[in-house]
């Protein structure tokens, strides 16, 4: 048998596979040969009706975890000939990063390297704002939690997890490659419920005009510059990447909030929690929660992969186990829990009141998902957590970057 090699050039934005590919897959007479695997065109391309008008142009970049992004970037440059097009230092709010592209005149970056593993993702690009809205609606209608919404200046994007906890980005590029400058992580808020005109106002006047000429507001824009990423209400860390588009950042709005906020309080796993600040309030930078719990409440050992957690004890006593350390916390004690380190705690007093700081915001989404609105500013009745709820927590944990460390058998 003669071995045949076929170069396949598939454009996911087209409606059909190339004729050559179809012929290669369905050669006459192959059905008589053992071990031959046949696919027809329908198997590669589901009916158009199933797509509901949503089309992506394929995977255009990936975000990878790197212990030292700068050193890893040199590897990709020296071994694969990619160009380093930007990055950030370890003291940046989102940590050390590096960005590379093998065709910077076409793609602002194809690999993003992050010291923080929470930012690992795969990015699908769409060709218009209409397509971005269509995908967003599809994800929401399927009850898939939206983790991130981002205005990167050069792109609008949203983020969610697949069933295995891998983060996916869908984005529409709004920038011009000709205006390319070194990429730097940055975040801006994005609200896809706003009309096109309001969204495009966030782009500089000159650039918005170029997008309009290309048909961006009508959903027929040419593909411009892709970029990276941010956080929004819901679930976790934040980050955005922008290139040369100079934008006027939206200033955070100052606010104050009292602790007796029934409309912002929930009953969670035997405790009363009040959300003093959430991602919506802080542009995803942090969340602040006041929690009141009774003796006996406390989670199993677990690891946060997306945020640092800090406790400040107001009333009562607790014992915190973090890594190989045990810390006794009394009123006025602050305990810092780094991400990636296993920890748990036990309440020693009859009642505990504590402030919980989450940086960045996002994990408050976990508390909301497994709670009910508090009918009063009191502790809920003491009750065992149902086994079914524990099972659901184990299943949902990876969506929030939470890993439960189960006892060894």
CATH of residue 375's domain is: 2.60.120.10
Number of domains in the chain: 2
From 212, 242, 272, give the residue that closes a domain: 242
Q: Which of 249, 154, 170 has the alpha carbon at shortest distance from 207?
A: 154
pLDDT at 194: 80
pLDDT at 28: 42
Q: How far apart are CA 344 and CA 360, in angstroms?
A: 20
Return the number of other C-beta atoms located less than 10 Å from residue 144's C-beta.
15
Strand order in the sheet with 111-114: 83-88, 97-101, 111-114, 59-65, 121-125, 167-173, 155-161, 148-151
**Is 14 a domain residue?**
no
Q: How far apart are CA 131 and CA 123, in angstroms?
A: 15
C-alpha distance across the termini of the chain, in Å:
53
Q: Cα-flanking dihedrals φ and ψ of residue 49, to 5°?
A: -60, -35
Please tell me whether residues 232 and 296 are part of one structural domain: no
Please tell me whether residues 393 and 321 are part of one structural domain: yes
pLDDT at 177: 46
pLDDT per residue as tens digits for the range 26-39: 444 444 444 444 44
Q: What is the DSSP letter of 77?
A: H
pLDDT per residue as tens digits for the range 267-293: 998 999 999 998 888 878 899 999 999
Task: Domain of residue 397: give its range.
Answer: 262-404
Please tell me whether residues 65 and 214 are part of one structural domain: yes
Return the number of other C-beta atoms located less than 10 Å from residue 225's C-beta.
24
Q: How far apart are CA 38 and CA 32, in angstroms?
A: 11
User: Residue 364 is encoded by which pair of tokens?
Assistant: 């408050």
Please tell me whether residues 90 and 218 are part of one structural domain: yes
CATH of the domain at 197: 3.10.180.10
Q: State the virtual CA torsion across 267, 140, 167, 178 in degrees, nearest 10.
A: -130
pLDDT per residue as tens digits for the range 221-246: 333 333 333 333 333 333 332 322 23
Please tell me whether residues 108 and 219 are part of one structural domain: yes
């Amino acid at each position: 048998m003669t071995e045949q090699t076929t170069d396949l050039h598939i454009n996911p934005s087209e409606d059909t596979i190339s004729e050559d590919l179809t012929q290669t897959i369905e050669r006459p007479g192959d059905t008589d040969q053992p071990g031959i695997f046949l696919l027809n065109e329908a198997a590669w391309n589901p009916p158009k009706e199933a797509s509901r008008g949503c089309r992506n142009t394929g995977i255009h970049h990936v975000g990878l975890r790197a212990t030292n992004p700068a050193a890893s970037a040199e590897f990709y440059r020296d071994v694969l000939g990619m160009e380093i097009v930007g990055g950030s230092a370890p003291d940046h709010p989102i940590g050390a990063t590096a960005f590379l592209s093998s065709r910077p005149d076409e793609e602002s970056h194809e690999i993003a390297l992050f010291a923080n593993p929470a930012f690992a993702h795969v990015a699908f690009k769409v060709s218009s704002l209409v397509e971005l809205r269509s995908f967003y609606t599809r994800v929401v209608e399927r009850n898939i939690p939206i983790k991130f919404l981002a205005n990167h200046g050069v792109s609008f994007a949203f983020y969610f997890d697949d069933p295995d906890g891998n983060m996916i980005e869908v984005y529409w590029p709004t920038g011009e490659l000709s205006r390319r400058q070194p990429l730097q992580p940055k975040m801006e808020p994005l609200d896809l419920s706003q009309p096109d005109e309001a969204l495009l106002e966030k782009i500089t006047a000159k650039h918005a005009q170029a997008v309009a000429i290309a048909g961006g507001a009508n959903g027929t824009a040419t593909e411009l510059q892709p970029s990276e990423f941010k956080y929004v209400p819901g679930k976790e860390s934040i980050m955005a990447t922008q290139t040369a588009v100079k934008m006027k950042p939206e200033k955070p709005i100052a606010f104050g909030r009292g602790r007796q906020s029934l409309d912002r309080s929930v009953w969670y796993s035997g405790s009363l929690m009040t959300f003093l600040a959430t991602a919506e309030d802080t542009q995803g930078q942090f969340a602040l929660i006041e929690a009141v719990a009774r003796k006996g409440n406390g989670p199993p050992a677990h690891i946060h992969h997306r945020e640092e957690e800090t406790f400040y004890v107001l009333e009562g006593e607790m014992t915190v186990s973090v890594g190989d350390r045990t810390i006794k916390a009394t009123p006025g004690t602050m305990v810092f829990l780094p991400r990636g380190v296993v920890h748990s705690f036990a309440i020693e007093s009859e009642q505990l009141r504590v402030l919980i700081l989450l940086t960045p915001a996002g994990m408050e989404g976990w508390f909301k998902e497994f709670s009910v609105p508090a009918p009063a500013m009191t502790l809920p009745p003491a009750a065992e957590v149902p086994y079914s709820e524990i099972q659901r927590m184990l299943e949902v944990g990876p969506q929030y970057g939470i890993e439960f460390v189960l006892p060894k058998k």
